[in-house]
Amino acid sequence: MPTIGIADTTFARYNMGAAAIDELKNSISAKIIRVTVPGIKDLPVAAKKLLEEQHCDIVIALGMPGRQPQDKICAHEASQGIILAQLMTNKHIIEVFVHEDEGKDDKELAFLMEQRSREHAQNVVKMLTNPEKMIKEAGTGQREGFKDAKPLS
Amino acid sequence: MPTIGIADTTFARYNMGAAAIDELKNSISAKIIRVTVPGIKDLPVAAKKLLEEQHCDIVIALGMPGRQPQDKICAHEASQGIILAQLMTNKHIIEVFVHEDEGKDDKELAFLMEQRSREHAQNVVKMLTNPEKMIKEAGTGQREGFKDAKPLS
Amino acid sequence: MPTIGIADTTFARYNMGAAAIDELKNSISAKIIRVTVPGIKDLPVAAKKLLEEQHCDIVIALGMPGRQPQDKICAHEASQGIILAQLMTNKHIIEVFVHEDEGKDDKELAFLMEQRSREHAQNVVKMLTNPEKMIKEAGTGQREGFKDAKPLS
Amino acid sequence: MPTIGIADTTFARYNMGAAAIDELKNSISAKIIRVTVPGIKDLPVAAKKLLEEQHCDIVIALGMPGRQPQDKICAHEASQGIILAQLMTNKHIIEVFVHEDEGKDDKELAFLMEQRSREHAQNVVKMLTNPEKMIKEAGTGQREGFKDAKPLS
Amino acid sequence: MPTIGIADTTFARYNMGAAAIDELKNSISAKIIRVTVPGIKDLPVAAKKLLEEQHCDIVIALGMPGRQPQDKICAHEASQGIILAQLMTNKHIIEVFVHEDEGKDDKELAFLMEQRSREHAQNVVKMLTNPEKMIKEAGTGQREGFKDAKPLS
């Protein structure tokens, strides 16, 4: 049984961690360990600690970068840290970021945060249990949260 | 009893380290070790030395990036370094940056620097003593210094 | 016989991995191992795992950054991670990125994704079997996918 | 007796290393080791070699980024490298950069390069011999080269 | 006798590696090892392999970033990787980049690529054989390829 880590933030305006956990519980038999940190820049080390100290096989790191230019820079820093944490551990951390300005209003934003969290939880399930299925979807324009893109062929 | 490191700068125009220490002293029984460096780009290694050489369990790194474009770049470099220092130590460094242009005047800026330092000190207390409380606040739009954001649900 | 890793994404709108593999099969006797991940930011660790856990001699990492500004930032983060993964392993990862806005329409974009994947597969073949040929082409304005540039002398 | 490293460049238009060394010699009894490299992007490894191979306790890295946009990017890369070198060694490298466009004319630029080098040399002296003095100056708006900023309280 | 590595690219429109090697051969008795890779983002690991696997004492990494915005980002990524490779090896990698838009026409561009390659080869010779000479040139406004800048004093 795999161990899946969930790291999310108190800054986000929607409980993304709960959405991801609910989706995982409906789809896979796994041990789930959750940690919540203040903001997205705290996610890289939180995820690495889940991988190394809590022996997670994979982590989902969820956050909502704000709408200000400075928030975009924070998101960039967090993403770089999440990539580095993966390279230091040889394990995947699936980043689920929904930028606050991706939704046209609060309702769409909430929908997107729920939906993207769930669809990336499904990616994690596939990566853990059926990597061949990922190969079959290579180049098919998959999107998480919004409608998939049109494949070119 | 945990050991908490405080790293701040002589560049900042407000004694953020003192605010954080005062808040900690009112909230938790901990050993506190403080170091002050010239600017925010000196914070990453200062924080890492507190974690590794002074055996701190967590560090609060406080700084005030200036209002010039070059200052924004320095803040970005410092933030990346702070994230990297965490990944190298598997410990949290809570970054408390108040940009000089976040306040509409000196009075608001001082208020913000005091308040954000204190609220992040409270985050550190929660992370050390009650991580379950952090999970309960996941996705609730917490902000440090200014008013919290409205949760989407 | 060398082992060549292929890492691509479900986000891309064209099966770049298949194009690279087809080209390799026509050109070199090698063991090929493929993995598909959700997006380009998942490529660095996927490539590093191919190098370290699957003992690949070299990896081709293929992806299609989208046309939005945020997608450009993701591509930058992925590229930095791919460079870092190489430095941590002392092995080459040949990055094959085609930005969604590089083609003037879907047809040209598909052509470019196919062609660049194949030409970089040829680079990998040369690097593995005939590095002297690479030196002979030094400074000759080679381009992958589009027409080569004019050498200056 | 501490060992202090000085790394500067042939690209700079003013002998910053000499200014720092003169200031140090007037203020502290220390062994000083100097190295000069072509440009600021050569400073990170030069500083790290001073720390690790020449056993310096601290290094001052001095440079003058040019006035072109590309020069600003080089400065950013050098700064990131200097932060990383510190994290890899757990020692401070005090970066003294004067951007060529910080002075309104050559005379002011020369003054600034001399003055900032000297004031950061004084920071190094304080960090080595009297870290308590740094804490006393926390949040007081210290600036190196130009006039100090006004503290907010 | 030192070993000097040369890493250049097939993307560049001028044989920079040949220019650097010719200059070195006229100036120093050294073993020279050359490798050519597709583009500048392949240079960091190529240089690191020359240092670690081919036991080079120093490496010259030569490339020509293109004139498009995306090319500038690639150059930034390559430069960061080159700095990191140096920090991981404690050896210098002298980066010789000529941006395609630095020359006002093809003729000036070719001149610049030849000249900068040769002048940086001379820097390498000085660093290997006469580091004292570098210190004497500190702060003198040296430029590689174009005319030197005017020292401020």
In order, the DSSP letters of D106-118 are: HHHHHHHHHHHHH
Contact between A131 and C13 using a beta-carbon 8 Å cutoff: no
Predicted confidence at residue C143, as pLDDT, reads 97
Contact between B15 and D138 using a beta-carbon 8 Å cutoff: yes
pLDDT at residue D21 above 90?
A: yes
Contact between B14 and D151 using a beta-carbon 8 Å cutoff: yes
What does the block give as tokens for D53?
A: 């191979």
Q: Determine contact: A38 vs chain B, CB below 8 A.
A: yes
Contact between A34 and B135 using a beta-carbon 8 Å cutoff: yes
Minimal Cα distance from C142: which residue of E? E11
Contact between B85 and D87 using a beta-carbon 8 Å cutoff: yes
Pairing of strands B58-63, B93-97: parallel
**Subunits close to D (at least 3 CB pairs below 8 A):** B, E
Q: Under a CB-based contact definition with an 8 Å cutoff, are residues C39 and A120 in contact?
A: no
Contact between D80 and E79 using a beta-carbon 8 Å cutoff: no
Q: Which of D17, D44, D46 sits opposite E138 (nearest CB)?
A: D17
Q: Which of A70, A77, A106 sits opposite B83 (nearest CB)?
A: A77
Phi first, then psi: give them for residue E7, nearest 5 degrees: -125, 125
Predicted confidence at residue A153, as pLDDT, reads 80
Q: Which of A73, A84, A110 sits opposite B76 (nearest CB)?
A: A73
Query: Which of B46, B41, B51 shows the shortest CA–CA distance to B72?
Result: B41
Q: Determine contact: A49 vs chain B, CB below 8 A.
A: yes
Predicted confidence at residue D153, as pLDDT, reads 80
Contact between C38 and A94 using a beta-carbon 8 Å cutoff: yes
What does the block give as tokens for D118?
A: 């000297």
Pairing of strands E3-9, E31-37: parallel
Q: Average pLDDT of chain A?
A: 97
Q: Determine contact: D117 vs chain B, CB below 8 A.
A: no
Task: Give Cα separations from B152 to A85, A107, A113, D24 (angstroms).
Answer: 30, 7, 10, 57
Contact between D84 and E80 using a beta-carbon 8 Å cutoff: no
Q: Determine contact: C70 vs chain A, CB below 8 A.
A: yes
| C-chain residues near E38 (CB < 8 A) | 94, 120, 123, 134, 142, 144
Answer whether E touches A (≥3 Cβ pairs < 8 Å): no
Q: Determine contact: D110 vs chain E, CB below 8 A.
A: yes
**Subunits close to B (at least 3 CB pairs below 8 A):** A, D
Euclidean distance between CA atoms A72 and A79, whole angstroms: 11
- What is the rounded average pLDDT of the residues D81-110? 98
Q: Determine contact: D63 vs chain E, CB below 8 A.
A: no
Task: Give Cα separations from C8 to A147, C93, C121 (angstroms).
Answer: 20, 12, 13
Consecutive 10-residue averages of pLDDT for chain B (153 residues): 98 98 98 98 98 98 97 98 98 98 97 98 98 98 96 91
DSSP A52: H
Q: Under a CB-based contact definition with an 8 Å cutoff, are residues C117 and C16 in contact?
A: yes
Euclidean distance between CA atoms E53 and E65, whole angstroms: 27
Query: Which of C16, C26, C34, C6 shows the shortest CA–CA distance to C115?
Result: C16
Euclidean distance between CA atoms B42 and B54, whole angstroms: 17
Q: Determine contact: A70 vs chain B, CB below 8 A.
A: yes
- In tens digits, chain C (153 residues) has pLDDT values of 999 999 999 999 999 999 999 999 999 999 999 999 999 999 999 999 999 999 999 999 999 999 999 999 999 999 999 999 999 999 999 999 999 999 999 999 999 999 999 999 999 999 999 999 999 999 999 999 989 999 998
Answer whether C touches D (≥3 Cβ pairs < 8 Å): no
DSSP A91: -
Q: Determine contact: A134 vs chain B, CB below 8 A.
A: no
Q: Under a CB-based contact definition with an 8 Å cutoff, are residues E79 and D41 in contact?
A: yes
Predicted confidence at residue C153, as pLDDT, reads 80
Crossing angle of helices A69-89 and C43-52, in 10° steps, is 10
Strands in A58-63's sheet, in edge-to-edge order, are A31-37, A3-9, A58-63, A93-97
Contact between C70 and A99 using a beta-carbon 8 Å cutoff: yes
Q: How far is C148 from chain E (nearest CA, A)?
A: 9
Q: Under a CB-based contact definition with an 8 Å cutoff, are residues D151 and B14 in contact?
A: yes
Per residue in D111-146, pLDDT (tens digit) is 999 999 999 999 999 999 999 999 999 999 999 998
Beta bridge mates, D73: none
Q: Determine contact: A53 vs chain B, CB below 8 A.
A: yes
Q: Which of C134, C141, C151 sits opposite E36 (nearest CB)?
A: C134
Predicted confidence at residue D65, as pLDDT, reads 98
| C/E interface, count of CB pairs below 8 Å | 107
Minimal Cα distance from E103: which residue of C? C152
Check: pTM over 0.95? Answer yes or no.
yes
Contact between A45 and B90 using a beta-carbon 8 Å cutoff: yes
| D/E interface, count of CB pairs below 8 Å | 107
Task: Give Cα separations from E18 to A27, C114, E25 (angstroms).
Answer: 59, 33, 10
Q: Which of C41, C70, C88 sits opposite A83 (nearest CB)?
A: C41
Contact between D90 and B34 using a beta-carbon 8 Å cutoff: no
Q: Which of A79, A94, A123 sits opposite C77 (nearest CB)?
A: A79
Crossing angle of helices E106-129 and E16-27, in 10° steps, is 40
Q: Determine contact: E17 vs chain C, CB below 8 A.
A: yes
Q: Under a CB-based contact definition with an 8 Å cutoff, are residues D143 and D149 in contact?
A: yes
Euclidean distance between CA atoms D152 and B107, whole angstroms: 8
| D-chain residues near B7 (CB < 8 A) | none
- In tens digits, chain E (153 residues) has pLDDT values of 999 999 999 999 999 999 999 999 999 999 999 999 999 999 999 999 999 999 999 999 999 999 999 999 999 999 999 999 999 999 999 999 999 999 999 999 999 999 999 999 999 999 999 999 999 999 999 999 989 999 998
Q: Which of E91, E94, E153 sits opposite D38 (nearest CB)?
A: E94
Contact between B9 and D152 using a beta-carbon 8 Å cutoff: no
Per residue in B21-63, pLDDT (tens digit) is 999 999 999 999 999 999 999 999 999 999 999 999 999 999 9
- What is the rounded average pLDDT of the residues A87-110? 97
Predicted confidence at residue C126, as pLDDT, reads 98
**Subunits close to A (at least 3 CB pairs below 8 A):** B, C
Q: Determine contact: A82 vs chain B, CB below 8 A.
A: no
Predicted confidence at residue B134, as pLDDT, reads 98
Q: Which of D80, D82, D135 sits opposite B36 (nearest CB)?
A: D135
Quick one: which H or E segment has residue A133? helix A131-136
Q: How far is E34 from chain D (nearest CA, A)?
A: 21
Burial code (b: 16+ CB inside 10 Å, e: under 16) for D58-82 equals bbbbbbbbbeeebbbbbbbbbbbbb
| A-chain residues near C91 (CB < 8 A) | none
Return the number of other C-beta atoms located less than 10 Å from residue A67's C-beta.
11
Minimal Cα distance from E69: which residue of C? C72
